[in-house]
Amino acid sequence: MSSIRLLAIGEVMAEIRSQDDGFAVGFAGDTYNTAIYAARQLGAPGQVGYVTRLGDEPLSQALLAHALAEGLDVSHIARDPQRNIGIYAVVTDDDGERSFSYWRADSAARRLFAAGQAAPVLPAAEIVYLSGITLAILAPAGRVRLLEMLADLRAGGATKVAFDSNYRPALWEDRATARKTMERIWQLADIALPSIDDEMALYGDDSEEAVVARFAARDWDGIAIKRGSRGPLSPRLAADDRPDFPAAMKVVDTTAAGDSFNGGYLAAFLAGAGEAERMAAGHRLAAEVVAVPGAIIPRAS
């Protein structure tokens, strides 16, 4: 029986970040960031697993060491000797605005769940988490294969599916494909963690109320619609039951704000917290993360 409580699926990239004396190399990726922040909140090693494909080159080796140091279960990470890890560079200007450059089109993670490849084993976990980016980087056949595997896991009754639409238009063939794919995963999902801006961009909604109404039309085991510094909103909670969400005292870098929220929320879900507590936990963690440069902030000593 697997000891993994949260299993995240996606792509990790080498992050090359500008700093005063040049560049620093780290690792990041939306679901990877969430996995690490959830693992830190849960505490014990091995409770959070990660599924991806890496190469055999030095950056992939360093990423594997990084994941192990964070206490992740890496036993379901596949290696591809023909491809490398993806890379992105981020530069922040004097006003705090970020610009990104990517080298990921032929990364090893793009072959995850691909036809002709041995499918990774998805162990039973209390929650399996993925995002719209996870789906966007896969070939169409890979998306179908992954969704079928998730449906089978969920049908067993012991696994919940958590999803963040995290819509990035440049990664999709077109918006119609993105919508069709995400509508299918939303039908499988038990826990919804969308961002208001992503949903409005994907569906062309003219108001936040339209997004909230769409998600309020069905029942969820957990739902937090992220709204940045204003804090999340859950249709499951009456207005009087919603906690306060104080703004972050300091904002240096908003990279991974939503990812860290998801990590805090999912860890609280696994700890048995109620909806309001989950949202508060996610918001607190995100406020800590945006105060420090980089997607993954240093661990507290």
Catalytic residues: 259
In the three-class reduction of DSSP (H, G, I as helix; E, B as strand; rest coil), residue 191 is classed as strand
* Rounded CA separation 173/66 (Å): 32
C-alpha 207: how far from chain center: 25
* Rounded CA separation 194/180 (Å): 16
Q: Which of 270, 4, 262, 259 is nearest to 121 (CA)?
A: 4
> What does the CA dihedral 123, 128, 132, 133 come to, rounded to 10 degrees?
-50
Please name the residue ranges forming H helices in the chain.
30-42, 58-69, 132-136, 140-155, 175-188, 196-203, 208-216, 257-270, 275-289
